Amino acid sequence: MIPLYSTSQVREFDSYAINSLKVPGIVLMENAAKNISSSILKKFNDIKSVGLICGKGNNGGDGFAVARHLSNSGLSVLCLYLGDEKEMSEDCRINFNILLNLSKRRKNIQLKKFNSLNDLNKFKQVDLIVDAILGSGFSGELKEPILSIIKKINSFSNKKVAVDVPTGLNADTGYSSTVFKSDLTITLGELKKGLYISNGYESCGEIILEEIGVGRDYFNDVKTSTFLVESKDVYELLPKRSKSLNKYTAGKVLSITGSYEYPGAGILTSKAAFKVGAGAVILSIPEIVKKYVYKNLPEVVIQIYGDKSSKWIKPDNYDDIKSKIKWADVVAVGCGLGREEETIEFVDILLSKKEFKFCIIDADALYSIKDNLDKYDLTKCILTPHLGEFSSLIKESVDEIKKDVIKYGSEFAKKNKTTLVLKGAPTITFNSNGESFINSTGNSGLAKFGSGDVLTGMVAGFLSQSKDIFSSAILSVYLHGLAADLLKNKKTEFGILASDIINEIPNSINLLRSLY
């Protein structure tokens, strides 16, 4: 797992370097600028010209120093700056004056104060635009003229780079109403969690970590509760399968999913559980859809509930499937179940009796418990809502959750002593300690009906084998996204279907194995 840090923790690192190691701030800025410039030249090795826009603080100072180093490399540099010299931080002013003096001697440096949005039109002529306006200390809403500056630069087609953190982004929460949209973000000191979630996930582009010249061993003793999931972590979570395994010891899943109206959800969930290695999967459905299910998934064993007229599950059907609930290693419930009042009552009985070993709660089952969450013991459960469903669970708007998704997810998982898989871009898994694990695979092709049903089946299938809630959630989310990434190369993100994801699961596992 790659640890991700808060802005205050990174600021403490800067303070440590300056106050304990006695490294002058201007030296740290110079080291950062050299590394940033080197990263830009490596990534964009065919550029001839660069436009930079610099603020008045230390992020702007980084920008002025980067402009100098890019000029040293022979690039044509146009640097716009905000505010007067007297308003700049001390280290920013030093690098501004160095660049000012060089601009009087070099034809490849233009240094100009920003006066109006028309000044930005000159950036249309450069190969690359570098944002060094605000950096990691920003929170809240952008004010003028910066708000209009960012909006206008975002409308340009040039390649873009952000220094440390894109302007407008809260580096702790990942939230922003307006943010510089970069193709590359070169962050300093350590990786900030806000770069990987919410608007950060959408706007940071590729993220590169560069040092400030004093190493990173300081962070060996700095604790964090947010992590980015790596492929090696996931590889180590794959269930170990013995040679003497049989269909029952390989993992038993009861899938209480699907209904007359949504039979496909039950098929997707059950098939996904099979594809990740579960040995025995039973699907509980009304008899009216039995033939359809057998036709599309002959491997599954069907548990019929109700009579021939039943279209959805009801409270008195609990006794029909009680023995299978006790039999299963994992019960998956909710996908395509429907939202009839009787179905809601069934889910209440299932969770109140708690005769299952483990339970995956998704979709319509989440809807069923949204008003009575506190009455259930969820310690042996994994909840897999998307943002809209999560909003209903915690009685908070989606817009408000987006402002600090880590906080809301962590608080929920900790309060309910459960595991939360918050589906989105990216999907984040929260454990009962309140730690958060950000997934690093997946693409927009997952934004389709049925994709969540597949994930639920995968989690159930892996959990039936490992009996480990946390590892099953992390593993399933990663491979679910990896399957979509493999399909993107074959079908593009437009053409990915939920059934495609299921068929790609073995390839995603093989790819993971081939790496280690």
Distance CA 513, CA 516 (A): 6
**What pLDDT, in 10s, does the model give residues 47-56?**
999 999 999 9
Contacts with 250 (C-beta within 8 Å, 6 or more apart), sequence order: 241, 277, 278, 279, 280, 464, 465
Rounded Cα distance, 453 and 331, in Å? 14
- pLDDT(241) > 90: no
* Helix residue ranges, H only, 73-145: 90-103
Residue type present at position 254: L
- Whether residue 384 contacts residue 455, with contact meaning beta carbons closer than 8 Å, is answered with yes
Could you tell me the fold of the domain covering 2-224?
Rossmann fold (3.40.50)
Which one, of 445, 461, 462, lies nearest residue 498 by Cα?
A: 445
* pLDDT at residue 297, as a whole number: 86
pLDDT per residue over 14-24, tens digit each? 999 999 999 99
Q: Where in the chain are the domains?
A: 2-224, 246-514
pLDDT tens, position by position, 59-94: 999 999 999 999 999 999 999 999 889 999 999 999
Contact 263, 255 (CB under 8 A): no
Give the per-residue pLDDT at 450: 95
Residue-wise pLDDT tens digits, 395-452: 999 999 999 999 999 999 999 999 999 999 999 999 999 999 999 999 999 999 999 9
Return d(Cα 395, Cα 377) in angstroms, integer.
19
Residues 6+ apart with CB under 8 A from 186: 35, 36, 39, 40, 161, 162, 163, 164, 208, 210
d(CA 456, CA 472): 11
**Domain topology for 246-514:** UDP-N-acetylmuramoyl-L-alanine:D-glutamate ligase (3.40.1190)
In Å, how far from its chain's centre is CA 97? Answer: 41
299 pLDDT tier (thresholds 50, 70, 90): confident
More confident residue, 308 or 50: 50
Asked if the domains 2-224 and 246-514 are classified in one and the same CATH topology, the answer is no
pLDDT at 310: 87
Model confidence at 300: pLDDT above 90: no
DSSP H or E stretch at residue 71: helix 58-72
E strand or H helix at 469, and its extent? helix 469-491
Asked if residues 130 and 66 have their Cβ atoms less than 8 Å apart, the reply is yes
pLDDT band for position 137 (cuts 50, 70, 90): confident
pLDDT at residue number 135: 86
- pLDDT, position 467: 96
